[in-house]
Chain A
């Protein structure tokens, strides 16, 4: 008797599971798929970095928004392919999957610096740009008990004492390094750049005053600024960021014409059709309009910067040119 009941319960549970599976599949599969054949299989979202970083969180949140709002009839599966400063993941998309509209990826600073320094076989020209969604600013920070209240004070001291002030940032070919060297050039100072493995180590270095100042993204630094442990001296975007950081001046305002922020967007291999680009652009435009996405962008102090395929391609060209210019400065 007892056994029978258990068996029946098991059977019921199986049926229930099956029915929910069917129910989930049905509404999603019919309408769009009938209109055009694309997409007919799941997308692979290649993150060329390991899990947990800025690019990874960006892609994972975006695909989650797409899935939660049922914007794509086919699932988007996030795959991390780290290594070679991103070049392994990007060449996997651009070289191994040319013309495949199911392999998407994202961009970061090494997307541009990699090919320029000869470390990546693929450059922005090897990708179809789908759309850009936001810009991640960069902050110049000191520890809260540092004697420098403003950037001017810091740079004045740097001028008076060459080779005394040190800055922490991520590796030697990063946005941080480029910002540092151009600031050094424009202010006519001589400072020391100390590269670290990642944002966490940079944070420790600033808070522990192992270096005089350092570079961090607002999403990493905001909690410490709010808690009164870090002080932001400048932001690297063209305009001030909104919200809690609205009092932080831009480098431009302070008289140093440097705009250096990380554009985040979606790219696909070359050789995909215009309709496919249009389709993907549509999906991500809808995703960018959802309140969940807007909350993510605001929570992480990013700036919403929607660019379509054409604008994004143009922007990539500009970014690459800018990096080229600054990389030659570092080379000196």
Chain B
């Protein structure tokens, strides 16, 4: 009951006209930066940060949170329409979103992305509201061995992204793991594969890689008219925009599963929405009835990662508010903002600044409704992107990609890096090497190595630490089963066949 009272109080704070305005601005701006390739939520939050200084802390955090989950939806728009992920968490959405668009179902894909995002977001807010402190205690139990196990589980999902030639998918993943080793090693600060360039000390960020491999490579291979997607005017009616009943039937379980996975992984410091969307897609492929069709344009391939990344963006706020520990790059900036507001995130924040915490929660409900309205109203508008002549569109997208990569750390080096990965992506595409495993391996690789080495220091070099701890042990067993399952299935089938024969 108390929670509901608090919620009403929070909604009343959030529906203050000024706060409503900030929420709306945040969601709209977030959707925009999310949709623009290269500019992700972290960049969006950093840009609008000074705007919050003059404002009340509540209005400020409402704005920043709005940008964050708005961007999670926005990223799907360009992923689906032009095969260029708007931000890193939307990489997985391209895999089925773009094929759907090619089939002429762009509108339904966009609609599903919006609904999945909003359902994921709203369920997560509810979970956040009731369980935040309890969940935070659980997140703490994730130490280095548990992270290692989770990264291994993440890597097993690569098997689901290898496309036509599994061996090429694995080569792509291994190269990604190699790229993850570039930079100063965390333990002793020894530079690895940096070739004396200090620009590589902090490793290769995955945003230039994702932008290059997906965005630029797409532009390069789409020089000819083969990528034109023709949209029939008749298709852009309201009824057609909404996903069909069959779409819902296929997607619903994956939305709920994606929400759970996303919220949980988002809560873990250092993991974040990108890894959440990867794992959610991988799990969806494993559990779907039509898993063979993944990658050719199935609607649940959009629903699973999109529900997960929005859920993760809300999940990341659990450790930020209750522990003062950021769950992602974007929440790290928000945490900095909280400190500038003079608020101290932690268990006491809920008691001392209830208007702040509950106002934020209230605003997240309202923000998700804004997001829904925005999505429904704007889908016909977004579809029009496809009517833009390809050369014009390519030039525009290219300039956004380059601006976005510069904005990462205000350096030309990242621009060069993005172009280099664009060239690599072009050849990979021509030779049928899938790009997603490389990006996934790069994201997971750094955390995989760090957590492995941390675990080894803690255990004094004994690898049993991964199996003796309950959480990491269970996750590792799940991963092993995920790897062995296809073989076991085959063996059983073989066995049954031989029996009947």
Interface residues, chain A, with chain B CB atoms under 8 Å away = 50-53, 56-57, 60-61, 64, 78-85, 87-88, 91, 117, 119-121, 163, 166, 171-173, 192-197, 199-201, 203-205, 207-208, 210-211, 219-220, 222-224, 226-227, 229, 295-296, 299-300
Of B326-334, B367-375, B379-387, B486-494, which stretch is located at the interface? B326-334
Q: Which of A88, A166, A193, A300 has the most CB of B within 10 A?
A: A88
Give the distance in Å from the alpha carbon of A77 to the alpha carbon of B163 in the complex: 47
| Closest CB in chain B relative to A241 CB, distance in Å | 15
Task: Determine whether the beta carbon of A120 is less than 8 Å from that of B53.
Answer: no
From known contacts A194-B454, A210-B144, A210-B458, infer whether A87 and B325 are also in contact, taking CB-CB under 8 Å.
no
* B240 contacts the other chain (CB 8 A): no
Task: Determine whether the beta carbon of A299 is less than 8 Å from that of B189.
Answer: no
| Closest CB in chain A relative to B459 CB, distance in Å | 10
| Closest CB in chain A relative to B274 CB, distance in Å | 16
A-B contact list, 21 entries, CB within 8 Å: A51-B46, A61-B340, A81-B411, A83-B199, A83-B409, A83-B413, A88-B198, A88-B409, A121-B198, A171-B184, A172-B188, A172-B189, A173-B189, A196-B186, A200-B270, A203-B323, A204-B142, A205-B144, A211-B458, A227-B347, A227-B348
Give chain B residues whose Cβ lies under 8 Å from the Cβ of A121. Answer: 198
Give chain B residues whose Cβ lies under 8 Å from the Cβ of A219. Answer: 339
Within 8 A of A (CB), among B12-45: 42, 45
Task: Determine whether the beta carbon of B457 is less than 8 Å from that of A227.
Answer: no
From known contacts A85-B184, A226-B346, infer whether A120 and B335 are also in contact, taking CB-CB under 8 Å.
no
| Closest CB in chain B relative to A302 CB, distance in Å | 12
| Closest CB in chain B relative to A274 CB, distance in Å | 30
From known contacts A208-B143, A223-B345, infer whether A197 and B186 are also in contact, taking CB-CB under 8 Å.
yes
Give chain B residues whose Cβ lies under 8 Å from the Cβ of A211. Answer: 458
Interface string of B449-466 (1 = CB under 8 A from A): 010001001101000000
From known contacts A57-B336, A197-B450, A200-B326, infer whether A299 and B142 are also in contact, taking CB-CB under 8 Å.
no
Task: Determine whether the beta carbon of B348 is less than 8 Å from that of A52.
Answer: no
From the candidates B319, B333, B336, B410, name the one contacting A81 in the complex (CB within 8 A): B410
| Closest CB in chain B relative to A81 CB, distance in Å | 5
| Closest CB in chain A relative to B183 CB, distance in Å | 10
From the candidates B140, B189, B333, name the one contacting A208 in the complex (CB within 8 A): B140
Give the distance in Å from the alpha carbon of A300 to the alpha carbon of B141 in the complex: 27
Interface residues, chain B, with chain A CB atoms under 8 Å away = 42, 45-46, 49-50, 53, 139-144, 184-189, 191, 198-199, 201-202, 269-270, 319, 323-326, 329, 332-336, 339-340, 342, 344-349, 409-411, 413, 450, 454, 457-458, 460
Give chain B residues whose Cβ lies under 8 Å from the Cβ of A201. Answer: 269-270, 325
Task: Determine whether the beta carbon of A81 is less than 8 Å from that of B409.
Answer: yes
Give chain B residues whose Cβ lies under 8 Å from the Cβ of A173. Answer: 188-189
Give the distance in Å from the alpha carbon of A211 to the alpha carbon of B349 in the complex: 26
Nearest opposing residue in chain A for B191, CB measure: A119
Task: Determine whether the beta carbon of B189 is less than 8 Å from that of A210.
Answer: no
Task: Determine whether the beta carbon of A57 is less than 8 Å from that of B349.
Answer: no
**Apart from A85-B201, A204-B269, what 16 extra A-B contacts exist at CB < 8 Å?**
A83-B198, A83-B201, A83-B409, A85-B189, A172-B189, A195-B187, A199-B325, A200-B325, A203-B325, A210-B143, A219-B339, A223-B345, A223-B349, A226-B346, A229-B347, A295-B342
Task: Determine whether the beta carbon of B346 is less than 8 Å from that of A84.
Answer: no
Task: Determine whether the beta carbon of B458 is less than 8 Å from that of A192.
Answer: yes
Give the distance in Å from the alpha carbon of A88 to the alpha carbon of B200 in the complex: 10
Give the distance in Å from the alpha carbon of A53 to the alpha carbon of B269 in the complex: 15
Give chain B residues whose Cβ lies under 8 Å from the Cβ of A223. Answer: 324, 344-349
| Closest CB in chain B relative to A1 CB, distance in Å | 28
Give chain A residues whose Cβ lies under 8 Å from the Cβ of B413. Answer: 83
Give chain A residues whose Cβ lies under 8 Å from the Cβ of B345. Answer: 223
Nearest opposing residue in chain A for B47, CB measure: A51
Give the distance in Å from the alpha carbon of A53 to the alpha carbon of B326 in the complex: 11
Nearest opposing residue in chain B for A85, CB measure: B201
| Closest CB in chain A relative to B54 CB, distance in Å | 9
Task: Determine whether the beta carbon of B344 is less than 8 Å from that of A197.
Answer: no
Nearest opposing residue in chain A for B323, CB measure: A203
Nearest opposing residue in chain A for B407, CB measure: A80
From known contacts A88-B198, A223-B349, A227-B346, infer whether A171 and B336 are also in contact, taking CB-CB under 8 Å.
no
From known contacts A120-B198, A203-B324, infer whether A51 and B319 are also in contact, taking CB-CB under 8 Å.
no
Give the distance in Å from the alpha carbon of A83 to the alpha carbon of B324 in the complex: 24
Give chain A residues whose Cβ lies under 8 Å from the Cβ of B324. Answer: 200, 203, 220, 223-224
Q: Which of A163, A192, A207 has the most CB of B within 10 A?
A: A207
Nearest opposing residue in chain B for A61, CB measure: B340
Give chain A residues whose Cβ lies under 8 Å from the Cβ of B335. Answer: 52
Task: Determine whether the beta carbon of A79 is less than 8 Å from that of B187.
Answer: no
Give chain B residues whose Cβ lies under 8 Å from the Cβ of A196. Answer: 186, 454
Give chain B residues whose Cβ lies under 8 Å from the Cβ of A299. Answer: 342, 344
From the candidates A56, A80, A120, A197, name the one contacting B410 in the complex (CB within 8 A): A80
| Closest CB in chain A relative to B141 CB, distance in Å | 5
From known contacts A51-B49, A166-B457, infer whether A82 and B409 are also in contact, taking CB-CB under 8 Å.
yes
In the A-B complex, list the 3 residue pairs whose CB atoms are closest, starting with the nearest: A223-B346, A210-B143, A84-B198
From the candidates A82, A119, A207, A226, name the one contacting B140 in the complex (CB within 8 A): A207
| Closest CB in chain A relative to B313 CB, distance in Å | 16
Give the distance in Å from the alpha carbon of A61 to the alpha carbon of B189 in the complex: 30
Give the distance in Å from the alpha carbon of A19 to the alpha carbon of B179 in the complex: 54
Give the distance in Å from the alpha carbon of A84 to the alpha carbon of B196 in the complex: 11
Task: Determine whether the beta carbon of A85 is less than 8 Å from that of B454.
Answer: no
Give chain B residues whose Cβ lies under 8 Å from the Cβ of A80. Answer: 46, 409-410
Task: Determine whether the beta carbon of A83 is less than 8 Å from that of B411.
Answer: yes
Task: Determine whether the beta carbon of A224 is less than 8 Å from that of B202.
Answer: no
From the candidates B49, B198, B269, name the one contacting A200 in the complex (CB within 8 A): B269
Give chain B residues whose Cβ lies under 8 Å from the Cβ of A193. Answer: 457
| Closest CB in chain A relative to B104 CB, distance in Å | 41
From known contacts A87-B198, A227-B347, infer whether A163 and B140 are also in contact, taking CB-CB under 8 Å.
no
Nearest opposing residue in chain B for A300, CB measure: B339
Give chain A residues whose Cβ lies under 8 Å from the Cβ of B332. Answer: 50-53, 200
Give chain A residues whose Cβ lies under 8 Å from the Cβ of B460. Answer: 163, 192
Give chain A residues whose Cβ lies under 8 Å from the Cβ of B50. Answer: 78
Give chain A residues whose Cβ lies under 8 Å from the Cβ of B450. Answer: 197
Nearest opposing residue in chain B for A113, CB measure: B189
| Closest CB in chain B relative to A29 CB, distance in Å | 21
Give chain A residues whose Cβ lies under 8 Å from the Cβ of B201. Answer: 83-85, 87, 119
Give the distance in Å from the alpha carbon of A233 to the alpha carbon of B460 in the complex: 25
